[in-house]
Structure 1
């Protein structure tokens, strides 16, 4: 594990101490990092949200949570920042009108959607999710925000799986802040 240089070490260490590693889940050979103990602990979850709010205060007009665990982080962060929350969801889960984008997964493809009327022209939007792996989902969210007229200013994730190349996929022009990187 490596720690982000943009966030305070004491909070990052507190957060990491509440991430549970589960071997062979959801399949043999996979090491799953479970955030449930983190979000269940008032002190560590509050410290995480407080740290993120302090870092992004004044820099964004909205937070876009990615379905589904991104919602867990985005909602309290939006409240802490005093901004709105946008929901980027899997296809068919939002009433129209929606804008959608198809993107590739490791085995197949998927579609994400956003209600464009929730995005104001030029709105500075922070994309937030629990994990950055290959970058496909985050990249789709960035594309959706742009299509709706917004300005995606960065991506924040709790956990980055750096060996899967998500940061590289998103490119050097899209800032990515990860609290923890494995």
Structure 2
């Protein structure tokens, strides 16, 4: 199984495209779009996430995906696991009663929210997104789960930018990343 896992990781890594100086000079943007347009690479991502969940989180109730790229991987994983999916959206995008938190961005503040009845107290959830940089968005999602009295079992991302130390902001939650730069 280890050889199969390694081959899948290599396939995923080959499908991450680097764009230097985007969105501004000095930043290397890691583009996951090639993963999405290649069925084998996309399947490899979901296979690897599923393997991680089945090996480490036997009792999970919901996958919680972050706006917007967590929406690409979260529902596929939730379907494989036979559980539900909950979106965390930017403020003002969800109908009905919502719960929100504000968080810091590099150049200001933002707000994230979920529908008030999306997660019940005591439910066990895993957070998913495409990339972990500074950890602000995943931290906001974990705060939403805390407000809802849900238990965050961990965070999962396709790519982790290690030098930005996003995992520090997410402690005590563990982060599982497929690829690290």
TM over 0.5: yes
Aligned to 2:21: 24
| 1:1-182 equivalent positions in 2, closer than 5 A | 8-57=5-54, 58-171=58-171, 173-182=172-181
Equivalent position SS for 1:128: strand
Equivalent-residue separation in structure 2 for 1:43 and 1:165 (angstroms): 30
Instruction: Tell me how far apart the structure 2 counterparts of residues 149 and 26 of structure 1 sit (CA, whole Å).
Output: 37
In the alignment, is the contact (CA less than 8 A) between 1:154 and 1:175 conserved in 2? yes
Contact 1:50 1:80 in 2 (8 A): no
Partners of 1:116 and 1:149 in 2: CA distance: 12
1:25 offset after TM fit, Å?
1.6
Q: How far apart in 2 are the matches of 1:55 and 1:66?
A: 19
Question: What is the TM-score normalised by the length of structure 2?
Answer: 0.92
**How many pairs align?**
176
* Stretch deviating more after TM superposition (32-41 or 21-30): 21-30
Q: CA deviation at 1:91?
A: 0.4
Post-superposition CA distance 1:81-127 (Å, at most 9, x none): 11100110000000121100011111111100011211122111000
Give the conservation status (yes or no) of the 8 Å contact 2:45–2:158. Answer: no
- Offset at 1:21? 1.0
Unaligned regions of 5+ residues in structure 1, if any?
Answer: none
Q: Structure 2 unaligned runs (5+)? A: none
Runs of 4+ aligned residues of structure 1 deviating over 3 Å after TM superposition are none
Q: How far is the alpha carbon of 1:18 from its aligned partner?
A: 0.6
- Contact 1:154–1:174 (Cα < 8 Å) also in 2: yes
